[in-house]
Structure 1
Amino acid sequence: MTDRTSVIVYGAYDRHNYGDLLFAIILKRYLEANERFRVQVAATKKSNLSRYGALPTVPLKKALEATRSQPKTLLIVAGGECLTAQWESIIGYLAPQALYYPIKASPYLLGQKLFIRLSRALTSIPSDLPLVPGERDFPGLQVMYNSVGGNEISRKNPLINAAIARNLRDCSYISVRDMETSAELDRLGIKHNLVPDSAILISDMYPQGSVASEPGHIVFHISDHHAKRRIEAIAQQLTELSMTTGLKIALLTIGKAPGHSDDDPLDKLQSLLGERAYRVDSGHIEDIIRCIATSKLYCGTSLHGAITALAYAVPQIALLPKRVVKLSSFLETWVPKQSCGFAEVAEISLTATALIASFGDAQKAELQTVIEAMKNRVRNNLEHMIALHQQTASGDVTQAQKANDAVLAAQ
């Protein structure tokens, strides 16, 4: 059909970070089902990461130009830890690896205000925050946030904190994915809904089957940032875990973008673990999903590694929970205690062994019930955003506001 309404799905889909790449796929498939909408996948720049199973992107400026003739185009910020993302991170991800840290330091050298102005000019995105657009900055758009994250907003410097609050107050609907982010928005007095991360729907879109003859494996992931000065201790724990369980360790690459690359620490672990481990390093979305979905346990620092495990009813361990708050907060918000764990490095083997031993058929059945309830909540949230947009586009603003207030009151 040629008369479908275009929706802009906007986020950090122009660099290789597994979780971000999932959001565009999920929203595009969901919104285009039954030929309801046509989705434009937009990011800060044009990209094509299809070799990793991702969707190509157009610059946000191009998506805005393509939808200019539509009344009240809907722009959905489709997920991720976007509320606290700053320009130096986004620009750094898009630059060559060697420039990542110099760019990260630029706001301190140039001043935050000047760096923001330069970033806006470079990307043609008229917002002080790259992934927190407000409707005043984008005339003709209706902006909504889908199950986003933003821990520690209150710890940002006053300029950034004020920009977050200003832009979030200037949008039509907000849903967040964990209690920590919800508490931050409560402190700012911003209405929002608490909804699971939409990546939980991937098991509907990428069904997996295990082979009965396969013994399974344990998936381990750690980012380069969190691996520093911990590799030898982690290798010792994983060796003990493999010996205790008889399972091999799949060392899984989840991110390849600057600032998200996992290859180096996982390669070092492979050299230390030898035959007790093997690398899964293609970075392809379907390889990552398959590796996690067919495992006995996921242990790592990636939130979307854990959410993928959750989607396929695989138990999860949040590694370094005090440091990776978005991961530990999400599991604490949504996952039954008997289906997940939290471990510092010295606790990996003990925690993982106990969780594998205790996770039986009853626990899996309970987890599957929880997963279905989470999926329904995600679907209801997406349908609510669609209904709000349709009511607003038809001019029934009062009814749209009543519908929004009803959802918020039902939390």
Structure 2
Amino acid sequence: MANPRAAHNGPIIFGAFDRHNFGDMLFAHVAARLLEERLPGIEPVFAGCAQRDLRAFGGHDVAALPQLAARWRDEPVTLIHAGGELLTCDAWEAAVMLTRPEDAQSCIARYGSRAEERRVWARAQLGTDAHAPYVIGRETFPCAASICFDAIGGATLDLRDAALRDEVLTKLRTADAIGVRDTQTQATLRGAGIDARLVPDPAALVAELFDERIQAARPVGSRGYLAIQFSADFGDEATLARIAHQLDLLVESTGLGIALFRAGAAPWHDDIAVYERMTARMRHAAVKIFDSLNVWDICALIARSEGFAGSSLHGRIVAMAYGLPRVNLQHGDAHKQRAYASTWEIANAPGVVPIDILHAAMRDAMSIRREALRRHGAMLARAHRAGFEALHL
């Protein structure tokens, strides 16, 4: 990474890869590789809302954007929002997800029901008054050479409070180029008079750009398996019993094992203890909890599987990149998963399904010809490349 304390000479790649989330951490790699292809030897600075070093998990050494802005405010910077559901992440959500997991619950209990205290605490944690801290415009870098957004999401922006929505739209109007990853976000921005190109998620390129690295990652095992993931909010006993039943049906009907993995370790993401409680309810022993949080190990787990099912959007997108069957589970807020699948999925592929039809939906997904899935994945990779090139960096 370029030294963020040095004089500015490289682009800032910005996003929510300052916390452990599978998809966000991949975005930084994709953006850096595409920039390197275009401008060999370029040294980007990776930035988020907070300074974090996630290299131990396959991520980056990430600088805090407020500190960069203090030094480079009047510089002709190039800033690339690298992707993700950035438009609807508010300051409270960002601050909680940047806390240590062991501290998150006490923060939620202390501030969660008191809006003003919540706002003050989030501002102190993030060093900004922004309602949407992962959206940066020329209010932060007024002399920027270019500010652009690559395949960002905001599937529920029209449902968010007016202060956040107005701030996001004001910042977007200062951008030089905007790509969005779903038609819902595109329609919301169009309704506000903002043009945005429709572009698949950056992770559509992981197989093309990083397959050698992924294939060299940690082995999973020799037996065929399905890659399964679900977030901690599926953790009530009744829901876990329903998931266990569906996974037992899949083991019985396919002969495959089950590999459970975490797509995020930040607060409000995934929890091994929840997986352990679910596996205790399964009748079949052909289940393994994969403990690695390295993003390349997670990619390898999915790439070597016979298909993915879970709540993670990027579990789905990496499976799409590798031409594998995929299904998202419906539980709570699945707006972004539904928006993405409805925009980019191949005809007849299951999108977001209720837990109680997981087995049937996964069998339907597995019935689609693999060659058709591979061709579709390659098409999405090409489309993201075209969208990135349209940013005119």
Determine if the TM-score, normalized by the shorter chain, exceeds 0.5.
yes
Confirm whether residue 307 of structure 1 aligns to residue 317 of structure 2. Answer: yes
TM-score (structure 1 length as normaliser): 0.84
Match of 1:220 among 228, 231, 256: 228
- Give 1:12 shift: 1.2
Confirm whether residue 187 of structure 1 aligns to residue 177 of structure 2. Answer: no
- Gap change, CA 1:308 and 1:171, over 3 Å in 2: same
**Structure 2 CA distance, aligned partners of 1:238 and 1:153?**
34
Partner of 2:386: 380
**What SS does the corresponding residue of 1:206 show, helix, strand or coil?**
helix
**Structure 2 CA distance, aligned partners of 1:40 and 1:66?**
13
**What SS does the corresponding residue of 1:249 show, helix, strand or coil?**
strand
Q: Matches of residues 320-331 of structure 1 in structure 2 within 5 Å?
A: 320=330, 323-331=333-341
Q: Matches of residues 46-195 of structure 1 in structure 2 within 5 Å?
A: 46-64=51-69, 67=72, 70=75, 72-101=76-105, 103-104=107-108, 106=111, 109-111=114-116, 116=119, 119-120=122-123, 122-125=125-128, 127-141=130-144, 142-195=146-199
Deviations for 1:199-243, whole angstroms, at most 9, x for unmatched residues? 1111123315699x9552111111011343400111011111101
**Structure 2 CA distance, aligned partners of 1:381 and 1:183?**
18
Deviations for 1:246-281, whole angstroms, at most 9, x for unmatched residues? 111111111111111332322222222351211112
Gaps in structure 2 of 5+ consecutive residues: none
- Give 1:135 shift: 1.0
Deviations for 1:161-220, whole angstroms, at most 9, x for unmatched residues? 222222222222211101121122122222111100011111123315699x95521111
- Give 1:324 shift: 0.9
Partner of 2:278: 269
Percent identity between matched residues is: 26
**Structure 2 CA distance, aligned partners of 1:353 and 1:20?**
29
Match of 2:248 among 236, 239, 246: 239
Residue identity matched to 2:274: P
**What SS does the corresponding residue of 2:46 show, helix, strand or coil?**
strand
**Structure 2 CA distance, aligned partners of 1:90 and 1:3?**
28
**Structure 2 CA distance, aligned partners of 1:174 and 1:354?**
35
**Structure 1 CA distance, aligned partners of 2:142 and 2:108?**
30
Deviations for 1:320-366, whole angstroms, at most 9, x for unmatched residues? 1784121122122112134444421110112212332x13xxx2222
Gaps in structure 1 of 5+ consecutive residues: 390-411
**Structure 2 CA distance, aligned partners of 1:4 and 1:171?**
20
Higher helix share: 1
- Give 1:286 shift: 1.5
- Give 1:103 shift: 4.2
User: Structure 1 stretch 266-275 or stretch 229-238: which is displaced more?
Assistant: 266-275
- Gap change, CA 1:227 and 1:117, over 3 Å in 2: closer
User: Structure 1 stretch 229-238 or stretch 263-272: which is displaced more?
Assistant: 263-272
- Gap change, CA 1:65 and 1:165, over 3 Å in 2: closer
User: Structure 1 stretch 213-222 or stretch 129-138: which is displaced more?
Assistant: 213-222
**Structure 2 CA distance, aligned partners of 1:122 and 1:241?**
44
Partner of 1:278: 288
Partner of 1:316: 326
**What SS does the corresponding residue of 2:195 show, helix, strand or coil?**
coil
TM-score (structure 2 length as normaliser): 0.88
| Cα RMSD, aligned residues only | 2.7
Partner of 2:371: 365
Partner of 1:404: none
8 Å contact kept, 1:342–1:351: no
**Structure 2 CA distance, aligned partners of 1:322 and 1:187?**
27
Confirm whether residue 30 of structure 1 aligns to residue 40 of structure 2. Answer: no
Partner of 2:356: 346
- Gap change, CA 1:134 and 1:341, over 3 Å in 2: closer
- Give 1:62 shift: 3.7
8 Å contact kept, 1:31–1:38: no
**What SS does the corresponding residue of 1:318 show, helix, strand or coil?**
strand
8 Å contact kept, 2:13–2:46: yes
Partner of 1:258: 267
